[in-house]
A and B are shown apart, each in its own frame.
Chain A
Amino acid sequence: DGGITQSPKYLFRKEGQNVTLSCEQNLNHDAMYWYRQDPGQGLRLIYYSQIVNDFQKGDIAEGYSVSREKKESFPLTVTSAQKNPTAFYLCASTPGTSNEKLFFGSGTQLSVL
């Protein structure tokens, strides 16, 4: 089955720790995205990548970092600089870079210990 796989489903971070969320897609999509969702709110764009080895900041990139070394993988690192990391993180992809619907993964819930 083709799709987007996020792991882990639940993740806990200690203060001062960096954690990395995994996102893998086997849809052969060019573009990948990371969104953050807080309770009762919409999705906010953290980072996106339209091509391998290139990525751009979204609206709330501070405290996060990404890499795009392979087309199918777009990991997100939540650094210790992100002071309020508790949220639901969603990865998405699209076939190209023009107006198209996003395909979402099932999300990772990150909480602070």
Chain B
Amino acid sequence: GESVGLHLPTLSVQEGDNSIINCAYSNSASDYFIWYKQESGKGPQFIIDIRSNMDKRQGQRVTVLLNKTVKHLSLQIAATQPGDSAVYFCAENRSPAAGNKLTFGGGTRVLVKP
């Protein structure tokens, strides 16, 4: 989801369950999408990316799904662990012709309950 003001959407998940984080993007011309994880007081860390010619890409315990028809992106985390607690951001390249200019969504906080 997208944030509204200072209140981040929060996803609470039990340790060991799967997490799904959603993101809506706005520009149908965007051709590159990326997910970042950010822990408190640190810089964002790359998780996984996907180009618009794909609809699914898998990494280690993570899967990104892209639905261009409804302009929706999701990140699935399998067997969520306490170390997965963080804020997750999606980003899109809204100006592919202008080079690498990523535009970030507002973020979703994931809280993993033991």
Contact = CB atoms under 8 A, between A and B. Distances in A.
A101 interface: yes
A102 interface: yes
Interface residues of B, number: 30
Interface in A22-62: 31, 35, 39-45, 48, 50, 58
B75 to A, nearest CB: 14
B6 A45 contact: no
A42 B106 contact: yes
Among A42, A92, A103, which residue has the most Cβ atoms of chain B within 10 A?
Answer: A42
B45 A104 contact: yes
A40 B6 contact: yes
A84 interface: no
Contacts of B13: none
A111 interface: no
Given A43-B104, A98-B100, A104 B6 contact: no
B46 A98 contact: no
B51 A99 contact: yes
A97 interface: yes
Contacts of B42: 106-107
Nearest to B46: A101
